[in-house]
Structure formats: structure tokens, C-alpha cells
Chains A and B, each alone.
Chain A
């Protein structure tokens, strides 16, 4: 070790998130907008108030999206932070006070908001409870978000961190929003002047396993340069601005070791759940399948350990083209996709293909010459799914032939499923077409498996109410939870103005699912669920508790759902699912999910 200089001591700072980080500094300036200090003429008050309302609505929508993003990338617990921020941005007193400030002081919306938010944040900071005081950061984060929407276009939404080379972020302060957008692969560590272990930014850093400290000297921050070597010890609260070669060597080795350990832990965890079929703690089998929409998806589903494809969206063939593919072309595409899955999937090779599920809300230009214009006043309630197949039987025959032939060629276990069913007649007619196609193929010497399962999506309240009758005509039900929600609640699930009025789990939808499962079970028919509910780690296991035997979801969710399912016994999930049936409100349901 060189000894010509005095030993360099790191500064003692506040530990926030454990771990060692060493690397080049990146000075980060939060996307907080510049101070706006504008007065307005009296006749502009109403317009400013309107602008404020619009900015709040836009910020609310962003926060909802951020919540979903964080739920996927970090976790549900951390995502709740942005749910809380939604409450702040919707706070009626806050809005009223800001509107008043605009009217009485003739401040612009931005200036008024900044003043009111800062005032509120200071009041929170003055509270004795440290936990509540830490919420001041959330108020400022929310205000900055609304302000960005108030500012004229041309202002960048965020200060982009060049996430190409791994860096240590150094900032005066970081908002939860900033932290949630950091990619842990490129952010080695975080050091801030202000903050504390109970801030939401800190919680997110810990969840992302990014080492972090706060309490660095503001003067030191000023003196730092981009690219300068820094190091932190997030467990002990040490901040190194100068490193001798010895320290540097030791810290680098420690960081490397920690990275390897994390990678090993993650790999172990993933390998374990990937190879293991879905089951509860006491070994009750629940199949965990993937929703797939193209060849790449099929490949990655198999690699992530899908036990089957529970929903193959065949629309992948028809989108973005002008001419509708004929039988042979469809056949070749299906073979390629089936093989992409079948050759990699180890445990099961079941693929449930849903026939064309088009509609005016999912238009396909190639379809229009065949079935006429797809313009409809009310697409969700229009000619869609199996209704198109019945109105244009030739299309259905062509698709069924292509699918069944491909299933034989790729030797996978194929099942066929019809979407958007509302009546028994529809199913009877679809089965007639299916039986005719099956007969034709057999005559042509194509050995379609006689046990090919034929099922339906249950996604309309009509199908749910008729499930006991429908069960006689099908081999399985697959509940399309997203559409079932939309049609049961009469609420467009892409319209945040109405969806925000409902809970993630509405008792009406839960009861409907229960009814469908019982109707299926009474006739010994398998009931599956595809859609967001199945991918929810708290709801998926409860669906199993109701009697659902197969959960189908986007591939990345499978490992988490398997792990969640395995955490308790079937008895436990059954009991919880029954508790949920007693819920009268979405809040009751939420309470059961949280308990």
C-alpha cells in the first residue's frame, strides 16, 4: 500500500440501504421545475384554475401508471407509495387552497401550487412523528409532477440519467419518482444530502437492492465532478470521496462479491421455481400457464417454465397486414409457434389456442375486405370474437383447419377455445363447425387427436349466468377476467375516470367467478383463469382456493405466482377464498387480501 499520503478517512453518513458501491459519480439534478413566479390578470383566473385541474388529472394518470410499473419491477408494497401519492394529488383541500391562492393573489397556477405545496410540506415536516414528517417529500414530489404538466411544452419531463455505464448517483435530494425509474443494473449506489431511512425513496432503494446513504455534506456535493471516483458503504454509513489504491481494491472486491452473491441467490430462486410445477404447500396441483401472442413469447414462456400456454392469441397472424393469411400460411405460422414452445417446454405441451378475437376496438385491416367495415358506435358490445366467426364461418373453418393440422405436425396437445360467448346456441353452432372440420381432416388422413379439448372463454355476464348449461357443451372454461370485470361492472377498463371508482377486486366479479367454477366442477369440467387477476400474487392463489385448476398469465409473472401459491396449503386458500365471498364492498375484499 502506498504510504506517501495520509490515510484517507471516509465521512460518516446515514446508512439507508445496505451494500458497497464504488464507481464514477453522476451528479443528478431532480426534474423539479424552476421556480415560477408569475402573476396573472384577473380575467385569467378561471383559465388558470382549469389548467390546474388538467395538470392534476394528467399527474394522477401518471401516478397510476407508475404504480403499475413499480408493482411489476419492484413490488406491491413499494407501489403503494404511488397510491398514497394519488391521494395527495387528489386532496380536495389542497385543490381548494390552490384555487383560492390563484383567485386572491392572482398567482399563476404554477406559482400558487408551489406556494401551497411548500406550505403543506413544511407543516408536515414540523410534526413530531418522524414517519409523518417524512411524507413532506411525497408532497413535494407530487407538486413537482403537477408543475411539470403546468409548464409549457419544451421542458423535458425528467432529467435523463444516461443509464449506459454504471454510476453512483449523487444528489441533493431524490424523490420516490426519481428512484423508481432507476435501473438497478446501471445505478451502483445513491448518495444524497437530505433524506432518511423512512423516506419512500429509501424504501424503494432497499427494494431494488441499490446501496444508499444520505447526510453527505452539501459543500462536498458542490465540489464533486461527474465521473469522479466515489464509494459508499450503505450498511455502515460511510462515504468515500477520496480513495487510496488499497481501499479502492478492497471495496471493488467487496462489491464484486456482493454482486455474485445476489446473482447466485436470484438464480437459485428462479431455477427452483421454474422447474417446479405449480402447487400449494400441501402439494395440490395448480397448473401455471402462460399467455402468449407471438413466437418470441412462446419461446420465453417455455424458458420461464410455463406448464402450458393457457391463452394463445392467434391475432398475431392477422395484425399489421393488408391481406388475410390463407390456411397454408396460417398453418406454417402455427407450426413455428407450437414448435418454439414444444421443443423447449419440459413438463407439459398443452397449448390452448383462442380463435380470432377481433372487434372494432381491435381492428384488423386485412379483415375488412372479408367482413365489411369494422366501424361501430359501441365496439365492446359489437360484432367481435366468436360473433365474427359465426357470421363468417368460412374464416373460422380455415382457422380451425390450420390450427388442428399444425397441432398434429408439431405434436403438441392442442385445445381450441372460442372467445366472447354469450349463449348456448353460439356454442352449439361452433361445435357443429368444429365437428365438421374434424371430420373433414380425418377423411383426408390427418390424425387429429379425438380427445382434442374444445372450450370457451367465459367473459360475459350472460355466459357466467348460463355456465351450468354451457358446461354441458364444452370441455373447459377459461375465465377472461379482464373482460368479465368490464362487462360485469359496465365499466370500460381503459377509462381511468370510471375504473378508479372500483377496486382491484370487486365482490360482484368474485361471486361471478365462483359461480362459473362451481358450474364447471359440477360437470367435471376444468376451469381456468387468464387475465390480470391470475397474475396477481395475492389473488391467483385465492382463485385456486375457489377451485380454479389452471392460472394463465404473462410469462414474467409465473415465478412469483408459483412462489405465492406454494406459501400456504390448499385448505388455507379455500378458507380465504370463502372469506372473500362474504365481502360486500371492494374495500372488504381489499381487507381480506391484506389480512
Chain B
């Protein structure tokens, strides 16, 4: 099983609270791979909205994403893209 890891800086204005966390979870849910988010010594299932919210990722912090599965690469690419777009936040 391919394992792909990447670290991302969260730069949108509010960190990962409900709306951006929701987008992250929805994006992750599109893939078969097991995907986890690590931050501040805690690990959460990227497909769990409550798990992601409880990480309390704040602006400017770096999160680690790890996907494991056949579509791990695509999953990480999609999530990276989402973070680059600042979670579609208005300027």
C-alpha cells in the first residue's frame, strides 16, 4: 500500500474551524485511503469532522497529513490543493 505524507501550513484566516474543517473532511471522504491529520502531538482521522475540529489547528500552524492506500497520492494532492486555495476563503 502506498503511503504518502506531506506537511501543510494553514494560512486561511481562522484556522481549521467548522467550515474549512468541513471542506477538508469532505475532500478526504472522497478517497478510499486511510488519511490522518497530525497536529500538536494529536492525531485525527481526516474523515472525522469532530476529530479534525478537536485538533484546534490555528492560523499559521503546520499540520502533517498522511494517507495510506491505493489512492493515497491523489488524496494528498487534493488536500494540498484545498489548503493552497486557502479553503476557498474570500480574500
Contact = CB atoms under 8 A, between A and B. Distances in A.
A135 B56 CA distance: 12
A132 B51 contact: no
Contact of A124 (B25, B27, B53): B53
B50 A124 contact: yes
B56 A87 contact: no
Given A83-B22, A591-B85, A591-B88, A135 B51 contact: no
A432 interface: no
Contacts of A132: 17-18, 53-54, 56
A538 to B, nearest CB: 13
A135 B53 contact: yes
Interface in A77-107: 80, 83-84, 87-88, 91-94
B88 A87 contact: no
A88 B90 contact: no
Contacts of B48: 91-94
B88 A127 contact: no
Would you call the interface of chain B mostly helix, strand, loop, or mixed? helix
B80 interface: no
Contacts of A590: 88
A450 interface: no
A129 B26 contact: no
B54 A92 contact: no
Nearest to B14: A131
B62 interface: no
Contacts of A587: 23, 26-27, 82
A219 interface: no
A223 interface: no
Interface core residue of B14, B50, B56, B90 (most chain A CB under 10 Å): B50
A93 B45 contact: yes
The bracket for how many chain A residues form the interface is 20 to 34
B54 A124 contact: yes
A139 B49 CA distance: 11
Nearest to B23: A587
A380 to B, nearest CB: 26
B41 to A, nearest CB: 15
Contacts of A139: 50
Nearest to A94: B50
A128 B40 CA distance: 14
A112 to B, nearest CB: 16
A93 B50 contact: yes
Interface string A552-595: 00000000000000000000000000000000000100110011
B23 to A, nearest CB: 8
Contacts of B19: 80, 84
A129 B16 CA distance: 11
B66 interface: no
Contact of A120 (B25, B50, B58): B50
Nearest to B49: A87
B68 to A, nearest CB: 15
A83 B56 CA distance: 20
A91 B56 contact: no
A83 B45 CA distance: 20
Given A93-B48, A135-B18, A139-B50, A129 B25 contact: no
Given A91-B49, A587-B82, 15 more contacts: A84-B49, A87-B22, A92-B45, A93-B45, A93-B50, A94-B48, A120-B50, A124-B54, A127-B56, A132-B53, A132-B54, A135-B53, A587-B26, A591-B85, A594-B90
Interface of B: 14-15, 17-19, 22-23, 25-27, 45, 47-51, 53-54, 56, 58, 82, 85, 88, 90
6 contacts: A83-B22, A88-B49, A93-B47, A93-B48, A93-B50, A94-B48
